[in-house]
Structure 1
Amino acid sequence: MPETRPTVAVLTALSLEYTAVRAHLTGVRKREHPRGTRAEVGLLPGTPWSVALVEMGVGNLTAAALTERVLSWLEPEAVFFVGVAGGLKKDIALGDVVVATKVYAVHGGKETPEGFLVRPEAWRASHRLTAAARDALRDDPRAHLKPIAAGDVVLADAKSALAEHLRTHYNDAAAIEMEGSGVVSAVDLAGGDALVIRGISDRADGRKSRADGEGWQPRAAASAAAALVEVLRELRPFGGRSGPGGREAEDSEEGPQRGARYGGDHLDFRGSTFHGPFTGKRVGDG
């Protein structure tokens, strides 16, 4: 019988984010939901966790629907949304990581003759997961515990109406992305624990395309995945949705077990110029 471990779900929007997380897993095997959603489940060495990895695609609506499916299907003890985001603060560098203390949905409001009236909605991060992140990343100056904003557009103009909207109404947000509010709202409705971890790949301005062309997306995804690993090394099973012992979903499997290697090349970001796995460090709360 294979070893049974408690499970966490790690969700990504993009393939490069998925690949960055998968590189840390061993014994990876495929699973398929009856409605076609795919997951790969593997072990994370040095931790008690089995990690169920799912690539969802972009957008908050898709993220909310698939997060709910993952919760009922895999019954994880916690959900992590990991990937890249645009930075909104000058003191947070490309390649740094923002762990969201809360997630704003930034497009709610009412248009009136007097102007647009904001109707803010926000979800605070799980205290249990945030506490683990603080311990894991306390001494790292490139890790930041800050709020993030989630919308339904790509922000690539620092002088746009959306950029001004964020500065005026969500001034403490350190990053912007497109799926976080969908993930955390679904987990909140289910009474679960969620944490969003984002590597900064651009500055959400007119130089976004240049930053993407310079390879900052995979670098930022690697930093986010490394931060996730440090948090999971700190986090202990707590008997969440999957019960004290945790369990893995009983569903179809595809193919033999295999490690997280591609053509014999293991994706290891240690020692790279774009800061490999975080080693636990300073976290500010804004």
Structure 2
Amino acid sequence: MAEGGESAIDVFGKVLTKLSKILGREPPFTIVTAELNAKGLIADGQLSAVKRQGLTNDQRGNEVAEKLKEKIGDSDNPNECVLKICDVFESDTVDYPTLKGYGAKMRKSISTSKQGHKNEQESDDEQESDDEQESDNEQESSDEDEPMTKDSKNPTGPQDMSTQIPKQGAGNKKFDKQEGPPMWLYEQMILDRKLPKPETIETEDLKGIEYLLLPATVTENDAVEYYLKLSSLNCSTSIKAIDIDGLIIYVGSYGKTKVMVTMTAPAKNKQGPVHAAVITTKILERFTSIKYVVAIGVCFGKGPSKDQKLGDVVVSDEIFNFVSKRRGVDDDSQRGGNHTLRHDTVNIFKKLKMPRKIKVLQGGIVSTADLIDNPGIKEELFKKFPNAIAGEMEGIGVVTAIEYTLQRVDVIVIKGIGDWGDGNKEATKGWKPFAARAAAHYVHNVLNQ
């Protein structure tokens, strides 16, 4: 126990927030992480994940601090583990005064703890330490929803981070301005797995595939491909690729379900319903076993509220068509029909628990050919469709495609909220990868049942 009956993890926890703001900076990030890695306090794979591009200094500092906290919690001798961290912080190699100060502070608490514990044992060798039990009970648990690799006891996604999505609701100052997304790094081992080049595939390999997954942008596609590669590892199956007139389609397991995956908008000028419709039509004409088309990716939300926040996943039960419309002198009116999902589709993709406090919201979604980033236009859009809870660009194109198929096919849009469509997309730019992953993760969970 540390000073005042604190555990080693409590001692570290007192400085964790301040360390998070320091450890991600240069200096001391590179030197400190190298020393921590050399002493076995951060594993090679963990360090590689932290160093991935796209993280802010605060985010990667938070990641390092949390990994150290996990190391202390898992250690057979937590006090010695903290002292090893102090050795790094106080070393001449690191030579960073603020870290030296935190190292000395933790060392003093741990040293006081050792002396106090020794005196307790001398007075009563059989006394049990309730504080130690409390410390054990406070260890953080990993997300239950995170898929597992076969060769690792760790979740394939990152560990839970202390930087969480801020609570939203009436009276909360962060209600209208949500902070950056919480940590959710990809496992480097999965990222490093290469997708195959297109080849001729036997008809048997394509037989009976019922699900077509359609991410639109590169960011959305990256998230889907991650879970495709993860599933191939967990299910011991291979991923195959075919080329249809320049369109690359991947075939493999997504969760425990065999699927096809292709991207509809590899470039910005291909975003929207037109290319989504063309690509869907081409695939459905050739592969008649497809029963469900899932548009996966990022959408804009109706607005920050107690019911909706950035990163939440929207699962459509109706797709509102605002692509086909009349633009008159006095009004703009809808001309195209809406699409209501079949009951069996809704049941398949019913709400499932998500990690990282992500909510799953079921409701209508507006599909438009325009990229909405104007508060006035957005307000008008939701006035026309008051039952809609979000908006996107591809869904109605896919709906159009299935109207011309001979087989019975349904469409569902499952997308994470990446912005509010209110003219401030740049301010929420960091949420798009998180929102894309949230949607891809949700579909993976459904198809893993």
2:302 aligns with one of 71, 76, 88? 88
Secondary structure at the aligned position of 1:184 is classed as helix
2:398 aligns with one of 167, 178, 183? 183
Normalised by the length of structure 1, the TM-score is 0.72
Q: Specify the alignment match of 1:171 in structure 2.
A: 386
CA offsets per residue over residues 12-34 of structure 1, 9 Å max, x none?
1111111111111222221111x
CA offsets per residue over residues 171-228 of structure 1, 9 Å max, x none?
121111111100122124323122110110011112211111xx21110000000110
1:56 aligns with one of 255, 264, 269? 264
CA drift at 1:143: 0.2
User: More helix per residue: 1 or 2?
Assistant: 2
Once residues 4 and 39 of structure 1 are traced to their aligned partners in structure 2, the CA distance between those partners, rounded to angstroms, is 11
Q: Specify the alignment match of 1:70 in structure 2.
A: 283
CA drift at 1:120: 5.2
1:6–1:77 contact (8 Å) kept in structure 2:
no
2:239 aligns with one of 17, 22, 28? 28
Gaps of 5+ in 1: 235-286
Q: Specify the alignment match of 1:130 in structure 2.
A: 346
Indicate how the Cα distance of structure 1 residues 5 and 138 shifts in structure 2: closer, same or farther if over 3 A, else same: farther
* 2:414 maps to 1:197: yes
Question: How large is the Cα RMSD of the aligned pairs?
Answer: 2.4
**Structure showing greater relative contact order (alpha-carbon pairs closer than 8 Å, 6 or more residues apart):** 1
Secondary structure at the aligned position of 1:121 is classed as coil
1:1-286 matched pairs, under 5 angstroms: 6-7=208-209, 8-25=211-228, 26=232, 27-33=238-244, 35-45=245-255, 47=256, 49-57=257-265, 58-75=271-288, 76-90=290-304, 91-119=307-335, 121-134=337-350, 136=352, 142-158=359-375, 160=376, 162-190=377-405, 191-212=408-429, 215-234=430-449
Normalised by the length of structure 2, the TM-score is 0.47
* Aligned-residue identity in percent: 26
Which structure: larger Rg? 2
Indicate how the Cα distance of structure 1 residues 233 and 136 shifts in structure 2: closer, same or farther if over 3 A, else same: farther
Indicate how the Cα distance of structure 1 residues 135 and 148 shifts in structure 2: closer, same or farther if over 3 A, else same: closer
CA drift at 1:88: 1.1
User: More strand per residue: 1 or 2?
Assistant: 1
Once residues 202 and 14 of structure 1 are traced to their aligned partners in structure 2, the CA distance between those partners, rounded to angstroms, is 15
CA drift at 1:135: 5.5
Once residues 4 and 189 of structure 1 are traced to their aligned partners in structure 2, the CA distance between those partners, rounded to angstroms, is 22
Once residues 120 and 28 of structure 1 are traced to their aligned partners in structure 2, the CA distance between those partners, rounded to angstroms, is 38
The letter for the 2-side match of 1:116 is: D
Once residues 312 and 351 of structure 2 are traced to their aligned partners in structure 1, the CA distance between those partners, rounded to angstroms, is 17
2:318–2:338 contact (8 Å) kept in structure 1:
yes
